[in-house]
């Protein structure tokens, strides 16, 4: 792992600087690879230090065996997994006064999902969340963002050896919210990590999930679903760092876009380091443009620095909603709204069917239908 | 008893007139063959009646039992009792045949068919068309062979039971066995329902299996000759050469 007090650079095309020091990055200009897709003028000032004046109310529903608490930033666990790789993340880590910690003790299988609902009540804020799952434990954590805020935040997942963690992170913000978040997971030996990112709301949402492995045999399954509407900028930057042998990763992100200036960005970086022998990785991004005026950028990047991989591949495609499909379905009597719904539901089914949290399936299916209902209105 | 009446139909694509005044009436129980060379506008007629957005009707009318078809949306036309078996059926990724068929049947019938009888109905219709039951779990038209696509179209015809069916070059791309099976499927629907059929074809070979009551020769965007089944036989031996002059002002082949 990168040092925490001084920066260093990976010797790779996916060059990344890691540092807790915001000055290690400098204020973004938009020319950096890291920021070239992001409209910096719409970040609500998060590229410079802010005086947090906002409020985020957290509602917690957790089974008894899962502990949810708030700790000071002096807690040694904070920043132990995640080292910022961009300036907003570094500012957030430097600017927090406390952090929320969700812990599942070793060998405990949580009896139900833990729900954290973060309701933004306006203003700017920094945030930090750490989810620790002990060795051999199993848990499902759902983090739901609602309301509005200008939020820069970091999330860390520490997954013990042989543990299984499913995280569902939902960006269901009101249309005014700005949210820039970096997440890092450290997946233990033979542990399983399922990460589901759902972005529906917000004016600008930019989430950067990173996965690293603490030992061999780890498994990371990253699923993404986004629905980008008129004027929204939704950016997802995935980085899988195959730094240990015999690990597996799957990245499946699917997005639908509609409306003028709807802009989605997907970056999928996979690095297989020399020690990542017998890696098995595949990443996929699909975008469905439902209307004119929407734009999707999709950049997969796979870098392999060992000769011994089991599998490594990626696919990326952006397609238009097909008027011929619509005609075909309607010519069988199916009304237009229902025909569109069929096609878009089918498009997202690959992701929704894999989430594996029954409590969310109906909500997400409904959310997709609701988003779709906005089309052409 | 249903009647599809096409009167003086003019249709353009990108401001180029393709149909130049088509008059044709198809009634329940009748089978009309429309024959003509490539580019004569046969498929334009089919798609215009179904409401494909690419085709602009500039003059004339299409009435189904007196109702103005041209003012209906594509789905309304289907629910009113029109069906188009397409020459090039469209792939719908991620939507299974069984889901598609049931959704379509629900829309056309106005209520969801009872699951138990529905399953039986689909199974029987698929067996008639010599289709493997596993077919129902595949995605609509995805990776289908030419023959499978056409069988799937006729399967829909059998299940949706339209008043008037337009079969657009259903015989194209089929080998002899597939042509026989598909034709039997069409004949089974003709025998069990009172469907009026408009059979669009370039070749006469499907007419050996599906006997038309009327044959219309299409050239240059209009019907240029009409007759009974014997007209098809003459076309079989003579081809369309004699209509070339009539097609002179029509669209390019």
pLDDT (tens digit, 9 = 90+) per residue, A84-131?
Answer: 999 999 999 999 999 999 999 999 999 999 999 999 999 999 999 999
Cβ of B89 under 8 Å from any chain A Cβ? yes
- The whole-angstrom separation of Cα B137 and Cα A16 is 46
Considering only CA atoms, which of B169, B166, B162 is closest in space to residue B195? Answer: B162
Q: Give the pLDDT band of residue B154 (cuts 50, 70, 90).
A: very high
- Show the CA angle centred on residue A339, arms to residues A336 and A342, nearest 5°: 155
Does residue B50 belong to the interface with chain A, where contact is any CB pair within 8 Å? yes
Kindly report, residue by residue over A271-291, the tens digit of the pLDDT: 999 999 999 999 999 999 998
pLDDT in tens, A188-223: 999 999 999 999 999 999 999 999 999 999 999 999
Q: Percent of chain B scored above 70 by pLDDT?
A: 97
A233-260 residue pLDDT tens: 999 999 999 999 999 999 999 999 999 9
Q: Report CB contact under 8 Å: A331, B84.
A: yes
User: Does the pLDDT at position A2 exceed 50?
Assistant: no
Our CA-based measurement puts residue B92 at a distance from the nearest CA of chain A, in whole angstroms, of 6
Can you give the residue ranges of every domain in chain A?
A: 2-323
Q: What is the mean pLDDT of residues B214-233?
A: 94
ipTM of the assembly? 0.95
Chain-chain contact of A325 with B74 (C-beta, under 8 angstroms): no
Whole-number Å distance between alpha carbons of B202 and B200: 7
Q: Hey, is B117 helix, strand or coil?
A: helix
Q: Using CA coordinates, name the residue in chain A closest to B108.
A: A333
- The pLDDT-based confidence of B239 (bands split at 50, 70, 90) is confident
**pLDDT score of B244:** 76
pLDDT category at B173 given cuts 50, 70, 90 is: confident
Quick check: B15 pLDDT over 90?
A: yes
3-state secondary structure of B115: helix
Interior angle at CA A272, CA A267 and CA A276, nearest 5: 145
**pLDDT value for B241:** 85
User: Which of chain B's residues have a Cβ under 8 Å away from the Cβ of A325?
Assistant: 90-92
When scoring B90, B109, B142, B162 by the number of chain A Cβ atoms within 10 A, the one with the most, hence best to mutate, is B90
Check: CB of residue B4 under 8 Å from CB of residue B30: no
Provide, as residue numbers in chain A, all residues whose Cβ is less than 8 Å from the Cβ of B79.
333
Determine which helix (DSSP H) or strand (DSSP E) holds A124, and give its type and residue range. Answer: strand A114-133
Distances (CA, A) of A129 to A4, A96, A241: 18, 11, 21
H or E, element range at B43: helix B42-50
Q: How confident is the model at residue B243 (pLDDT cuts 50, 70, 90)?
A: confident
pLDDT-derived band at A375 (thresholds 50, 70, 90) equals: low
Mean pLDDT (chain A) is 93
What's the helix, strand, coil split of chain B in %, to 5? 40, 30, 30
Q: pLDDT band for position A14 (50/70/90)?
A: low
- Cα distance between residue B1 and residue B6, in whole Å: 17
Considering only alpha carbons, which residue of chain B is nearest residue A322?
B92
Q: What is the rounded distance in angstroms from the CA atom of residue B100 to the CA atom of residue B95?
A: 7
DSSP H or E stretch at residue B187: helix B176-192
Each residue's pLDDT tens digit, A145-192: 999 999 999 999 999 999 999 999 999 999 999 999 999 999 999 999
Answer whether A151's CB lies under 8 Å from A176's CB: no
Q: How far apart are CA A186 and CA B163, in angstroms?
A: 63
For A33, list phi and psi in degrees, rounded to 5.
Answer: -55, -40
Q: Is the CB of B95 inside 8 Å of chain A's CB atoms?
A: yes
Cα A365 from Cα A371, distance rounded (Å): 10
The answer, yes or no, to whether residue A27 has pLDDT greater than 50, is yes
Alpha-carbon span A77 to A189, nearest angstrom: 19
How many Cβ atoms sit within 10 Å of the Cβ of residue B130?
14
DSSP β-bridge partners for residue B180? none
Render pLDDT for B106-140 as a digit per residue (tens, 0 to 9).
999 999 999 999 999 999 999 999 999 999 999 99
Does the pLDDT at position B249 exceed 70?
Answer: no
Average pLDDT over residues B129-157: 94
Chain B residues within 8 A of A354 when measuring between CB atoms? none
The confidence score (pLDDT) of residue B248 equals: 52
Q: How many whole angstroms separate alpha carbon B185 and alpha carbon B126?
A: 9
Q: In the structure, what pLDDT confidence band is assigned to residue A11 with cuts at 50, 70 and 90?
A: very low
Per-residue pLDDT reduced to its tens digit, A63-80: 999 999 999 999 999 999
pLDDT score for B237? 86
Pairwise CB contact (< 8 Å): B108 & A333: yes
Question: Is A330 in Cβ contact with B100 (below 8 Å)?
Answer: no
Distance CA A89, CA A151 (A): 11
Min Cα distance B36 → chain A (Å) is 25
A193 Cβ neighbours under 8 A, 6+ residues apart: A157, A159, A164, A165, A166, A167, A185, A187, A211, A218, A219, A220, A221
């Amino acid at each position: 792992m990168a040092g925490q007090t001084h920066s260093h650079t990976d010797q790779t095309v996916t060059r990344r600087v890691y540092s807790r020091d915001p000055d290690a990055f400098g204020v973004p200009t938009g020319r950096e690879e890291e920021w070239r897709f992001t409209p910096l003028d719409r970040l609500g000032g998060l590229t410079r230090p802010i005086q947090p004046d906002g409020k985020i109310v957290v509602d917690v529903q957790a089974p008894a065996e899962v502990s949810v608490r708030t700790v000071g930033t002096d807690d040694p666990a904070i920043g132990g997994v995640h080292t910022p790789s961009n300036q907003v993340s570094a500012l957030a880590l430097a600017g927090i006064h406390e952090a929320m910690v969700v812990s599942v003790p070793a060998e405990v299988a949580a009896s139900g999902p833990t729900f954290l609902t973060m309701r933004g009540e306006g203003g700017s804020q920094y945030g930090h969340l750490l989810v620790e799952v002990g060795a051999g434990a199993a848990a499902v954590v759902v983090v739901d963002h609602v309301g509005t805020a200008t939020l820069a935040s970091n999330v860390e997942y520490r997954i013990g050896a042989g543990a299984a963690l499913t995280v569902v992170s939902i960006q269901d913000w009101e249309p005014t919210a700005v949210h820039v978040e970096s997440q890092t997971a450290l997946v233990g030996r033979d542990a399983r990590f399922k990460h589901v990112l759902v972005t529906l709301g917000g004016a600008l949402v930019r989430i950067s999930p990173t996965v690293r492995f603490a030992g061999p045999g780890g498994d990371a399954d990253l699923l993404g679903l986004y629905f980008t509407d008129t004027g929204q900028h939704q950016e997802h930057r995935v980085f899988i760092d195959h730094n240990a042998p015999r690990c597996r990763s799957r990245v499946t992100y699917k997005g639908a876009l509609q409306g003028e200036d709807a802009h989605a960005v997907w970056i999928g970086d996979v690095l297989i380091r020399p020690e990542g022998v017998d890696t098995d990785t595949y990443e996929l991004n699909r975008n469905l443009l439902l209307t004119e005026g929407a734009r999707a950028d999709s950049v997969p990047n796979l870098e392999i620095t060992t000769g011994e991989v089991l599998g490594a591949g990626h696919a990326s495609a952006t397609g238009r909603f097909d008027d011929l499909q619509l005609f075909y379905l309607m010519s069988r009597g199916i009304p237009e709204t229902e025909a569109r719904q069929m096609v878009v539901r089918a498009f997202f089914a690959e992701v929704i069917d894999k989430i594996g949290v029954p409590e969310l399936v109906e909500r997400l299916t409904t959310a997709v239908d609701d988003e779709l209902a906005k089309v052409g209105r | 008893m249903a009647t599809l009446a096409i009167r003086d139909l003019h249709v353009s694509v990108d401001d180029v007139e393709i149909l130049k005044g088509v008059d044709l009436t198809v009634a329940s129980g009748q089978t009309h063959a429309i024959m003509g060379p490539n580019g004569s506008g046969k498929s334009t007629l089919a798609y215009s009646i179904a409401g494909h957005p690419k085709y602009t009707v500039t003059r004339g009318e299409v009435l189904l039992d007196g109702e103005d078809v041209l003012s209906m949306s594509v789905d309304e036309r289907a629910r009113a009792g029109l069906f188009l078996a397409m020459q090039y059926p469209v792939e719908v990724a991620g939507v299974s045949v069984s889901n598609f068929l049931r959704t379509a049947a629900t829309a056309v019938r106005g209520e969801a068919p009872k699951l138990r009888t529905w399953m039986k109905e689909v199974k029987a219709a698929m067996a008639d068309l010599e289709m493997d039951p596993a077919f129902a779990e595949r995605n609509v038209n995805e990776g289908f062979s030419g023959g499978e696509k056409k069988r799937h179209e006729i399967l829909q015809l059998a299940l949706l039971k339209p008043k008037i069916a337009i079969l657009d070059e259903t015989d194209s791309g089929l080998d002899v066995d597939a042509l026989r099976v598909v034709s039997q499927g069409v004949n089974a629907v003709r025998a069990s329902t009172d469907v009026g059929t408009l059979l669009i074809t370039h070749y006469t070979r499907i007419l050996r299996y599906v006997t038309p009551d009327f044959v219309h020769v299409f050239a240059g965007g209009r019907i240029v000759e009409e007759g009974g089944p014997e007209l098809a036989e003459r076309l079989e031996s003579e081809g369309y050469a004699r209509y070339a002059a009539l097609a002179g002002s029509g669209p390019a082949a």
